[in-house]
Amino acid sequence: MSLEVNIGKRRNILEIGPENASQVILSSPVLNEGDLESLLKDSQLKPQVLHTFFDITKGIDGSLEKALNKLCDAADEAVRNGSQLLILSDRSEAL
C-alpha cells in the first residue's frame, strides 16, 4: 500500500511528452505548513484557497446549505479558470 499522492492534470499515460511530467508527487496525503506553502506557490497548479466557514448569526442567509452552494460555485469557477489544486480552509485569516 502506498500513501503517495499525485497532484495536477493527468494526461494520457500512453502518450509521451513533457506535459505528462507536470504533476507534483507527495509522499503522503498529510501536509505540514512547509508543504502547503510550497504548493500555494506552484504557478502550474494555480492553487485556489476556498474558505469553508460561514456566519450562523445571519439566520437563513448564513445557512449551511447556502454556504455549501457558494463553496461549490467558487470551486467550479476556480477550475474553469485553470486551477488544478483547491484548498479548503477553515481559517478565518488568509493562508
CA distances from 9 to 14, 19, 24, 53, 81 (A): 15, 9, 10, 28, 14
User: Is residue 15's pLDDT more than 80?
Assistant: no
pLDDT score, position 14: 74
User: Is residue 20's pLDDT more than 70?
Assistant: no
User: Is residue 51's pLDDT more than 80?
Assistant: yes
Report yes or no: 48 and 87 within 8 Å, Cβ to Cβ: yes
Convert the pLDDT of each residue in 58-92 to its tens digit. 777 768 888 899 999 999 999 999 999 999 998 87
pLDDT score, position 85: 92
Q: Look up residue 28 and give its three cell numbers.
A: 503522503
Domain residue limits, the chain? 5-89
